Amino acid sequence: MSTGSSTTQVATLARREILRFIRRPYNTFLPPIVTNTLYFSVFGIILGSRIGSVAGVSYIQFVLPGLVVLGAISDAFENASFSVFHGRWEDYIDEVTTAPMTHRGMVGAYVFASAVRGLLTAVLIVGVGLVFTAAPVTHPFHLVGFLVVTVVLFAGLGVVGGLAATDFDNLTVMNQFILRPLVFFGAVFYSLDVLPPLWRNISLLNPMVYMVDGVRYGMIGVTEIDPNISLAVLTGAALAVLAINLVLFRRGFGLTK
């Protein structure tokens, strides 16, 4: 199979997956807009006026990066897990696995499309945040780097979830009872400095802490962990998850009933 032909097939699959969520904006883009408007209203205006500043910035600016991470990873994970599982459920993923396309191309297409959705959601949340506060970007390269690595990591985890799930309830459990609690305990709404030493050390075991802290550094310049170390660790984790995706596809895990 020629390189050009393979590239075209991967691009076609990625395009199909992107069009799938773009054609349903009320299900894809409206929920994060509404949800984050409520977050900013409650945490930014009501609580923010009482809390004042955190780490030298207004509270609403402090929570904005965390909400961006929350929305981006949730949508990247949900898109990949739903795409893969729905394809298995309706048997049309067979068209992908039997096509003359490499497993690397299949994984790349699913992850790319889901990462795009995650990044679009991040942009939407920043747009909502701009209605309530200024959103300076102090370190743009770190911001882009953390966002890209984060959505790729969770798109890859979504592929694993989509292959492992046995019904739609499994997808809900993964997103609502595993993903979101980790984010809410990932220093989205508070600084690590307010925690007792023991709980601060325990919090450092949560990978979400590094994602939120890294995006916060990129946006408002506030950080509690070395961003370069965080970015290197998250990049390694993303590459490891992509490698797992590739192994699972090669072995046909979850792809056959």
155 neighbors 77 (Cβ within 8 angstroms): yes
Tell the residue number behind the tokens 């609502």, with chain if given. Answer: 176
Note the pLDDT tens digit of each residue in 107-116.
999 999 999 9
pLDDT given for residue 140 in this prediction = 93
Q: For the chain (length 257 residues), average pLDDT per consecutive 10?
A: 66 91 88 89 73 79 90 93 89 80 91 96 93 86 96 95 86 77 82 86 88 94 90 94 95 78
Chain centroid to Cα 70, Å, comes to 7
pLDDT given for residue 110 in this prediction = 95
pLDDT given for residue 3 in this prediction = 54
DSSP structural state of residue 179: I
pLDDT given for residue 257 in this prediction = 58
255 neighbors 163 (Cβ within 8 angstroms): yes
Q: Radius of gyration (Cα) for the chain, nearest Å?
A: 19
pLDDT given for residue 6 in this prediction = 67
Cα separation of 37 and 75, whole Å? 17
Say if residue 195 is exposed, middle or buried (CB neighbours under 10 Å; 0-12, 13-18, 19+): middle
The neighbouring-strand residues paired with 74 are none
pLDDT given for residue 195 in this prediction = 85
